[in-house]
Amino acid sequence: MHYPLPIASQRNVLCIFPAYTPSFGTFSHSYRLLPRVRAFMPPQGLLVIAAYLPPTWPVRFVDENIALANAADFDWAEVVLVSGMHIQALQIHDIARRAKVAGKITVLGGPSVSGAPELYPEFDYLHVGEIGDAANRLIACLDHSVTPPPAQMRFETSERLPLGDFPLPAYNLIRLDRYLMGSLQFSSGCPYRCEFCDIPTLYGRQPRFKTPEQMTAELDAILAQPGYPSWMYFVDDNFIGNRKAAREMLPHLIDWQRKHGYPLQFACEATLNLAKQAEILTLMREAQFLTVFVGIETPESDALRAMRKEHNAALPMMEAIGTLNRYGLEVTSGIILGLDTDTADTETHLKTFIDQSQIPVLTINLLQALPRTPLWDRLKRDGRLIDDDARVQSNVRFLRPYDEVVAVWQRCIAYAYDPVRLFARFAHQVDATYAHRMHAPVRGRITARNLRKALVLGFNVVFWIGLVSNYRRAFWRAAGYALRRGQIDAALGMGLVAYHLIKFSREALRGEQNASFYSAHACAAQRAGTVDGKKASPAALASRRSSEAQPCNRHTFRLALARLSLSMRIRPWQQTKNLFNP
């Protein structure tokens, strides 16, 4: 549905989504291996807001992960509408500055301002909470006038719009083929109360959800676009927050996939106790869910109890991961260091977990306290929140020495993303996970765009990873193992993902990336950053990092040719052995 009340004026609205600060989880280095891809995932929330605006209001949509809003965009606009998360705070402030220079009304909504409205005094209007009655009051105010108010005005949601009344996201305003993966939302809220998580406060503990018909309508809208990613990520806070709703929606998703020839593959986020839901797992496998992100956080049971995440121990952890793998789900994991329960043995425990779980992708971060969480409240009472210190990458005063915690983080990411270990974990997945996936028809995925994407990806993976990289032997050992089992997608996928993880971890170890995904400060190297030799804004720096192309200079090209020439001198059967076998 759109805004339901009469409109007296027409307003030009410029929606701007801030650039992300690079992290392990956005795979920014991998974009260059694919044609057209410039960003991670479409901003679902801001696209819904854009669709909810009065249909007579012209809307422009700029995702600054792809390109910055330019002077012409600001000149056209009467209202600049921004949404973002805490990790995007620096870029949010920068957008406000540029909009104010252009003399425009500024509006901020989304999870960051909803959690900490006091951080954004420069915006004219704040929208706190989910879409609902506050959005209606805000739109009515903008309809009445676009003159800046004498003081900041805040609109807080008291009555949410039911998810069943959400409009289709405004996919027509963006180019979906610019994204690594697409985004879908089925539900909102999570029943658990993990100490560090702000989801229950922001979105509630009683999950709300859309109808199956809404989900299939959104999928139809995605397929109607000129181009779209073949991967879709359910951005739900917990996909099984309401198990009954998920179980009832999945057959509709399966029917849609069958009808269209299985054009899409899915990923989601869920708690580890998903492993106990055999019926849901069976349906997810048939719907083509291939990856699940699980906030494992720590392998230490005492730490899980301390952070109120006992549900991660509902089954023995390795047994649960193995169960998910047997349903074809590759697990990716969030890990937190700097917990109060960390000891001198935590590093060893985490490395053991990495080896035993065989999880390829782990986002290992320092603990960060988010506003409106039990963790924030506890640390504030204890005087352990760090207000503003650019020398540290977390706002938590750890119980262990800060330098020691950072050193453990560095050693753990170096261990996790050592190329030999990383590709060995991918090779393990070939039999443990990929072999258990349903062999879906490929009719829906055979398009000219997808074939071109596969050819470009194949060339770039072979060239940049298989020939140029200094970890090519480890790659070919794992990729060859997959290829011999007919898993071409797996071979290309592990190259695509590993390329980012290895490059990002090496940058982090050089001090060029933050140790905390939610850090409010740029790391030292980023603070000194420039674009083309000139000091640049946070938005310009983030946009440049996410979109710059992999250079292919004469030296690199000659080196690759030399390696290819050397390999061609080997007899064919020897070449196969060297490339594909340990």
Across all residues in the chain, what is the average pLDDT?
90
pLDDT bracket for residue 195 (50, 70, 90): very high
Looking at residue 19, its pLDDT comes to: 97
351-369 tens-digit pLDDT = 999 999 999 999 999 999 9
Query: Across residues 63-81, what is the average pLDDT?
Result: 98
Q: Is the dihedral of CA 107, 113, 114, 119 positive or negative?
A: negative
Looking at residue 557, its pLDDT comes to: 43
Q: Are 547 and 541 in contact (CB under 8 A)?
A: no
Looking at residue 182, its pLDDT comes to: 97
The span from the CA of 284 to the CA of 436, in Å, is 12
Looking at residue 499, its pLDDT comes to: 98
With a cut of 50, say whether residue 318 has pLDDT above it: yes
With a cut of 70, say whether residue 536 has pLDDT above it: no
pLDDT bracket for residue 25 (50, 70, 90): confident
Which CA distances in Å does 368 have to 97, 195, 249, 379? Answer: 26, 11, 34, 11
Q: Are 36 and 178 in contact (CB under 8 A)?
A: yes
User: Left, alpha or beta for 211 (phi > 0: left; psi -120 to 50: alpha)?
Assistant: beta
Q: What value, to the nearest 5°, has the Cα angle with vertex 464 and ends 459 and 466?
A: 80
pLDDT, greater one: 502 or 578: 502
- Tell me the Cα Rg of the chain: 24
DSSP tag of 253: H
pLDDT bracket for residue 208 (50, 70, 90): very high
Looking at residue 539, its pLDDT comes to: 55
Report the candidate in 504, 507, 500 with the shortest Cα–Cα distance to residue 525: 507
Query: Across residues 538-542, what is the average pLDDT?
Result: 53
Report the candidate in 144, 143, 87, 141 with the shortest Cα–Cα distance to residue 119: 87
DSSP secondary structure string for all residues of 541-577: HHHHHHHPPPP--HHHHHHHHHHHHHHHTS-HHHHHH
DSSP secondary structure string for all residues of 329-375: -EEEEEEEE--TT--TTHHHHHHHHHHHH--S-EEEEE--PPTTSHH
Query: Across residues 55-59, what is the average pLDDT?
Result: 97
With a cut of 60, say whether residue 542 has pLDDT above it: no
Q: Are 540 and 70 in contact (CB under 8 A)?
A: no
Whole-structure pTM value? 0.90
Looking at residue 562, its pLDDT comes to: 46
The span from the CA of 468 to the CA of 535, in Å, is 32
395-443 tens-digit pLDDT = 999 999 999 999 999 999 999 999 999 999 999 999 999 999 999 888 7
Domains detected in the chain: 1-170+537-550 (3.40.50), 181-400 (3.20.20.70)
Query: 223 CB contacts (<8 Å, ≥6 apart)?
Result: 260, 263
Which H helix or E strand runs over 83? strand 79-83
Report the candidate in 51, 108, 66, 48 with the shortest Cα–Cα distance to residue 84: 108
The span from the CA of 380 to the CA of 207, in Å, is 29
Distance of CA 142 to the CA centre of its chain: 32
Looking at residue 551, its pLDDT comes to: 44
The span from the CA of 146 to the CA of 580, in Å, is 64
Looking at residue 531, its pLDDT comes to: 43
Query: Across residues 273-302, what is the average pLDDT?
Result: 97
Q: Between helices 402-416 and 419-432, what is the axis angle to 10°?
A: 60
Looking at residue 568, its pLDDT comes to: 36
With a cut of 60, say whether residue 573 has pLDDT above it: no
Looking at residue 448, its pLDDT comes to: 86
Q: Are 54 and 7 in contact (CB under 8 A)?
A: yes
pLDDT bracket for residue 376 (50, 70, 90): very high
- Structure tokens of 157? 């949601």
- Structure tokens of 541? 């720096």
Kindly report the number of other CB atoms within 10 A of residue 121's CB atom: 9
DSSP secondary structure string for all residues of 114-165: HH-GGG-TT-SEEEESSSBHHHHHHHHHHHH--SPPSS-EEEE-SSBPPGGG
Looking at residue 517, its pLDDT comes to: 60
Looking at residue 538, its pLDDT comes to: 53
Q: Are 331 and 359 in contact (CB under 8 A)?
A: yes
Looking at residue 22, its pLDDT comes to: 84
Which H helix or E strand runs over 81? strand 79-83
